Amino acid sequence: IKAALRVLAIQLTAAAYQPQIRQRLPQRRVSRSVFANLTPDLEQMFAQMERRYGPEEALAQSANLVRARLAMCHGWLLAAQESLGQRGVSVALVYRIERMQAQIGRLETLLTLLLDHSPGNALAFLLHNLDRQDEQHSIRGLLGETLALLARSVVERNGRFGQHYIARGRAGVQAMWHKGLRGGYLTALTVHAKHAIAGLMLPKFFEGLAASLNYAFSFALIQACHGTLATKQPALTAAALADQMGGNARAHDGLAIEIRHVLRSQSAAILGNMAGVAPVALLLAGLAYWLPGHLAMPRAEALSILHAHALIGPTPLFAAFTGLLLFSASLIAGWIDNLFALHRVRTAIACHPRLLARFGLQRTERLAHLTATHAPELASNIALGLMLGMIPAFAAFMGLPLEVRHITLATGTLSLALLTLGSECLRLAEFWQAIAGLISIAVLNLLTSFGCALGFALLARRLGVLDLRRMLADSLEHLFHQPLLARPAVAKE
């Protein structure tokens, strides 16, 4: 047992000195680490045990010192595990921390067995080894813990992004409205480019590639112009709501206020998108009508657009699938941000010698800040554009009638069809079915993305369905009793 204790203590101390672990411990200096004195404390206890006629109080004091040292090591590892959400998560790092925690548990068990040779402790030790044998070789347990930590890291980072999409107060709602308008204006250009690409009659793969580049460039341009698309917000605002929960089932009032802010923000953004894309798309179509060689949209094509967006049909299914793609794009943003934090990309750019020599200290730091801040969202925009364009192309190659239905793009496309039909559309049943389908697209885009993100966030925070139902029920009750935002009370001196 003494030999096993010595080996485990040396292995635990050596693992604590590895750079990836040491950088995440509360004290990085080796001389001040609690792991540094673990082996000397054990040797002092062994020396007290070899003195057969020594005082028992000294042996008990040495054993208590070792137990206290192990408790401090366990606390430091918990602090290192908590820092994973801020400094990035990797499978190897999670495995090392889990292995060190298991070594601390084995040290405590062997210490108890060494000081007390009763048959009950020996039997408990044997049963514990048999129970832990499968867990130590379980890939499922390792992957489950790692995925939970990765999910928590992604959710926390998406929650940080989601705070920018939650408007608080009248000024914030107006700003969100203007951002939605700006995103709608730029999406109108995307709609015309999409219509032009479809008119080229390219092969499916190249048509999907061209559509992907069109979407990706449009989303990146909206980001550069400080606009917003309402459909991208639910996956991020759901993570922000999970942060408001925080694992505390009593914070119902704060959650109700946050839900109220989210509803107002989403309404302002989506109404801004639809109010911006429709008139600009009509204006550009009217201007293009006078260009030489321009061919107006045939009436049959306009009717087919109305039929494709009708409520009775696959439109709700396509809208829900698009919401799933929007949620996937938010995961990519959180994953990229986690990689940047794990590999310290911002520090690497800020300290790069060639960049410092060429641009100077201030410009290099600004470049590092802009890269770390905007690269995850840019990656999300590019990934979303590729998914919206290429997945239907691959589905057509596999013979699957799968398409995407994005509310802003669908509004612009329907505007082009209505320009061709004119006032005749008011007498068509297909027009009203398309309007109903447009409403379903908006609802399902938002609800699917929000629901997937909220479920993912709850999974990361280990909250069950019953906790979610209780919190939402109490929050909605609070919301119905106080539908308007109350002014913050002024603290009395």
pLDDT tens column, 80-136 = 877 765 666 666 777 788 788 888 888 888 888 777 766 666 666 665 665 566 655
* Per-residue pLDDT band at 318 (split at 50, 70, 90): very high
In this prediction, residues 441-449 reach a mean pLDDT of 88
Q: Rounded to whole angstroms, what are the CA distances from 267 to 174, 311, 389?
A: 11, 21, 27
Task: Please state the separation of Cα 73 from the chain's center in Å.
Answer: 31
Q: What is the mean pLDDT of the chain?
A: 78
pLDDT tens column, 385-429 = 999 999 999 998 888 888 999 988 999 889 888 888 888 888 888
**What percentage of the chain carries pLDDT values higher than 90?**
14
- Give first-to-last CA distance, the chain, whole Å: 64
Of 333-337, 398-402, 485-489, give the lowest mean pLDDT range: 485-489
Q: How many CB atoms lie within 10 A of CB 118?
A: 10
* Per-residue pLDDT band at 489 (split at 50, 70, 90): very low
Angle between helix 315-342 and helix 139-162 axes, rounded to 10 deg: 100
Of 79-83, 434-438, 448-452, give the lowest mean pLDDT range: 79-83
Q: Rounded to whole angstroms, what are the CA distances from 432 to 151, 301, 318, 426?
A: 42, 17, 19, 8
Radius of gyration of the chain (CA): 30
**What percentage of the chain carries pLDDT values higher than 70?**
71
Q: Which among 42, 47, 44, 49 has a CA at the least distance from the CA of 11?
A: 42
With tokens 């909220």, the residue in question is 454
pLDDT the model gives residue 210: 94
pLDDT tens column, 68-82 = 888 888 888 888 877
Strand segments, DSSP code E, in 34-145 are: none
pLDDT tens column, 242-301 = 666 654 445 555 666 677 777 778 788 888 888 899 899 888 887 776 665 555 678 888
With tokens 């890269």, the residue in question is 371
Cα–Cα–Cα angle for 18, 19, 25, nearest 5°? 90
Indicate whether 462 pLDDT > 60.
Answer: yes
Of 212-221, 373-382, 467-476, give the lowest mean pLDDT range: 467-476
**pLDDT higher at 140 or 350:** 350
Q: Give the pTM.
A: 0.74
Indicate whether 357 pLDDT > 70.
Answer: yes
pLDDT the model gives residue 267: 81
**pLDDT higher at 237 or 35:** 35
Q: How many CB atoms lie within 10 A of CB 199?
A: 11
pLDDT the model gives residue 214: 94
Task: Please answer whether residues 329 and 383 qualify as being in contact, where contact means their C-beta atoms are separated by less than 8 angstroms.
Answer: yes
pLDDT the model gives residue 485: 46
**pLDDT higher at 139 or 222:** 222
Which residues, including other chains, have CB under 8 Å from residue 122's CB and lie 6 or more apart? 113
Cα–Cα dist 388/393, whole Å:
9
pLDDT tens column, 8-48 = 888 888 888 887 787 777 766 656 678 888 888 888 888 87
